[in-house]
Amino acid sequence: MNTSIHWTARSVPVPGLGELFSEAVGPADGQPVLLVMGAMNPGHFWPADLVAALVGAGCRVLRYDHRDTGRSFVMPPDAPPYGLDDLVADALRVLDAWGLPRAAVVGWSMGGYIAQHLAFEHPARVSHLVLLASSPDHRPYMAATLGRPVPTDGLPGPVAGFLPALMAASVGAFNRAPEDVAVDGWAVFHGGSLPFPAERVRQQARAALADGHQPLAAMHHALAVDRAQPRMAWLPQLNLPTLVLHGAQDPCLPLAHGQALAQLIPGARLAVLDMGHLLPDALAAPVGAQVAAFIGAGTAG
């Protein structure tokens, strides 16, 4: 697929703090799609082939860098901690800045948590909900990664071997090239039979660092998520088309998390993909086409 697409950038002010970096591509009158990235990563980590498939279907695609990532503002070291609600407000600011009253929202991992809140708290702003490698309950994963016991009466924590592998990937991080650390770290999140997209991850990491991305600042996302409440109680109240995409071999949010989303949200569709928590290159374009078909892009009405 031709991934030569040209983005138009726009700064999004966050009063008293700074500006979020956002971009749009595709026809101005196309069906709006907001891509919400997961924790600790800037917006350009969305695979280019996925974006190209959406644009090819006539979508107007937006992506942005969360606060503390990429080209967006970095919180001062002495600033009060922020929460997931602040990240939800940032997503709304992006829609407002581009003059979009409503959009299909595609959230990946933590981006899926944000997307769920948008759909529940601001239903008029979300036409379709797409949740990729996400969960209704982040607590098992957060407990495991922060060294707390994982409850045994809910959704499962990461698979056996995930945390040791993640720790091993970070050994000697300060003595290695940052892009090599990124590749090693993302490899732990990979799963399924398709090749790990090492070169894409390396290029994305280099581009992020060149843009000024500060990985340590992005750690604030984990603290914001850890303070948030799970979403199981109100997900059954959602009333919009929902597509859940989840990897059969997701090592950090096992498949049960995607299945739970599909069970909790009325009418939600579940598609199980040959992947872990990271979208392989071979699936990027097909997933983009699947999302476009789900939201009815390029069709009448």
Catalytically active residues, by annotation: 109, 250, 277
User: Would you say 151 and 162 are in contact if contact means Cβ atoms under 8 Å apart?
Assistant: no
Strand boundaries in the chain, DSSP class E: 8-14, 18-25, 31-36, 59-64, 103-108, 126-132, 242-247, 269-273
60-to-52, 100, 147, 234 alpha-carbon distances in Å:
11, 10, 41, 30
Q: Cα(274)–Cα(191) distance, rounded to whole angstroms?
A: 8
- Helices 162-170 and 178-189 cross at an angle (nearest 10°) of 170
Amino acid at 184: D
Q: Cα(10)–Cα(154) distance, rounded to whole angstroms?
A: 41
User: Would you say 199 and 176 are in contact if contact means Cβ atoms under 8 Å apart?
Assistant: no
Q: Cα(119)–Cα(254) distance, rounded to whole angstroms?
A: 23
